[in-house]
Amino acid sequence: MAWDGVLKKIDDNRWEIPEGYIPGMNTNAIIYADETMISQIREDNAPQQAANVACLPGIVGSSLAMPDIHWGYGFPIGGVAAVDANEGSISPGGIGFDINCGVRLIKTDLVYDDVKDHMDQLMDTLYANVPSGLGSKGLKKLGAKELDEILQNGSEWAVENGYGWEKDLEVTEEYGHMLSADCSVVSDKAKKRGLSQLGSLGSGNHFLEVDVVESVFDEKVAETFGLKEGNITVTVHCGSRGCGHQIATDYLQNMEQYIKQNKISLPDRQLACAPLNSDLGEDYFKAMSCGANYAWANRQMITHWVRESFETVLGNSSESMGMDVVYDVAHNIAKKEEHDVNGKRSDVLVHRKGATRAFAAGRKEVTQKYRGVGQPVIIPGDMSVGTYVLVGLDGAMRDSFGSSCHGAGRKMSRKATSNLNASDITSALSGKGITLRNGSDEGLVEEAPQAYKDVDQVVSVVCNSGLTGKVARLRPIGVVKG
């Protein structure tokens, strides 16, 4: 359904839906997009969702949408909203069902010549070692006590149990462990769904990608991140699997009851929420933190199996190949942070749904390794074009609660891709020198490159807006899709 609402141009990269466009708005909504993107953004009802979010109780600043905006559950995907930490509400629709879906980037000291003759074997090994696809199960069998430890401790559990290196934690957002987690508020059903899936990619838009650093735009920052033109990298995109999905489902049901019982007026029931300082709001935040920890442990275990795969195929140790984690970012999460609101330093809860934290240099939350330059921001495109590495800038701290886009963003629904042909997609990728491993033709068609916006355009908007700066671009040579 096309959206024909009021949209005022602020500048070349921002558009405003004014406060008052619909009843109940507590602020305006701002969409980041250039002139050529805005007509495509109007093609679904996602701008209406950005306006709806402006009705969230306790929202501060503007309801924001990044250029990868598209239709989601309650919030648009690409949405950012901050609420007052004392008087605001928390909404599961502002985080999403795949809690802490995120991206991890692993560098190597290898170059293309080191892997070009081994790509088939390497991709076969990665495909075998990192389970993917709908309902995929991890290689590690867990007991209930172990799962509780994972929900509590995230990546720390994985490293302590031999899945990765201690220094991986230093370059993971929140060090891979949200301290606010409390596994006692996670349902048995959510735990049961998580027992068999740890260490798996899943399906949908999740992927594992082997890339070459094709271009470096900022030599100083790239050097700090450990990225060098011509080197091989690995990108992993996945989240909290069925565990996170069930946590979201459970609390959405509870919050729908809460807004009915308390007669809270919202333009869309999918914005169901509860005060952050209520028992329900606090319990959801604790449970969401558990889902986030599960996702970080998931990507940590996948990192271990990626390293093992390279060792098996290339015959060298992962240490000697320089297989360090560059960074791990969450892009479906809510965080308690300090930001300037109307010229005053304030405690807020920032919902980021399909949006990446993009903190500038100097923020204490940025690991010491990168604090002098800013946080890495990892932005995948579609499977044919690869990934951008950006860095957070002061403009993000001023204008977007330290946030940027999370990927190219869909422009076609999964249903709309059904007339595409899987063999054509495979041939097109092969023609670009990309070795593909995928679990199903249906999944491949749903994630066809044609389904996504132009990542160059999306990245240009967030960079031209001063939210982020370009550091490097990665070109895919191998893709695993669920």
pLDDT at 443: 86
Please count the CA atoms within 13 angstroms of the CA of 237 that sit on its side-chain side. Answer: 26
Quick check: 210 pLDDT over 80? yes
Would you state the pLDDT for residue 441?
86
Give the pLDDT score at 207.
Answer: 92
Is the pLDDT confidence value at 134 over 60? no
Determine contact, residues 199/140, Cβ cutoff 8 Å.
yes
Question: For the purposes of burial, counting CB atoms within 10 Å of the CB of 35, is it exposed (0-12), middle (13-18) or buried (19 or more)?
Answer: exposed
Please provide residue 60's backbone torsions phi and psi, each rounded to the nearest 5 degrees.
-125, 155
pLDDT band at 138 (very low <50, low <70, confident <90, very high): low
Task: Quote the tokens at residue 207.
Answer: 């992927």
* pLDDT score at 257: 97
| Residues contacting 104, CB < 8 A, separation 6+ | 172, 235, 236, 299, 302, 303, 325, 327, 328, 329, 378
406 annotated active-site: yes
pLDDT at position 139: 63
Average pLDDT over residues 370-379: 98
Q: What does the pLDDT average to over 211-232?
A: 98
Among 157-161, 204-208, 295-299, 364-368, the minimum mean pLDDT is found in: 204-208
Tokens standing for 438?
């995928």
**Catalytic choice (237, 304, 339, 406):** 406
Average pLDDT over residues 126-148: 78
Mean pLDDT score, 290-309 = 97
pLDDT at site 137: 58
Q: CA–CA distance from 191 to each of 144, 146, 187, 312 (Å)?
A: 8, 11, 6, 33
Q: Per-residue b/e over 103-128, b at no fewer than 16 CB within 10 Å? A: bbbbbbebeeebbeeebeebbebbbe
Distance, CA of 81 to chain centre: 16
Average per-residue pLDDT in the chain? 95
Helix (H) or strand (E) holding 80: strand 77-84
Q: What percent of the chain has pLDDT over 70?
A: 98
Residue 307, H or E segment? helix 279-314
Whether the CB-CB separation of 277 and 173 falls below 8 Å is answered with no
Over residues 36-62, mean pLDDT: 96
* For range 219-244, the mean pLDDT: 97
Mean pLDDT of the 383-410 span: 97
**The most confident of 131-135, 143-147, 243-247, by mean pLDDT:** 243-247
Which of 458, 338, 399 lies closest to 78 in space, CA to CA?
458
Half-sphere exposure of 315 (CA within 13 A, CB side): 3
> Containing H/E element for 224?
helix 219-225
Q: What is the pLDDT of residue 1?
A: 65
325-347 mean pLDDT: 97
The label of the residue with tokens 């969702």 reads 49
Tokens of 280: 């329900």
Residue 183 to residue 191: CA distance in whole angstroms: 9
What per-residue confidence (pLDDT) applies to 258?
97
What pLDDT does 123 receive?
96
pTM value is 0.96
CA–CA separation, 255 vs 259, rounded Å? 6
Name residues whose C-beta falls within 8 Å of residue 121's C-beta, 6 or more positions apart in sequence. Answer: 313
Q: What is the pLDDT of residues 401-445, one digit of tens each?
A: 999 999 999 988 877 787 888 999 999 999 999 999 998 888 899
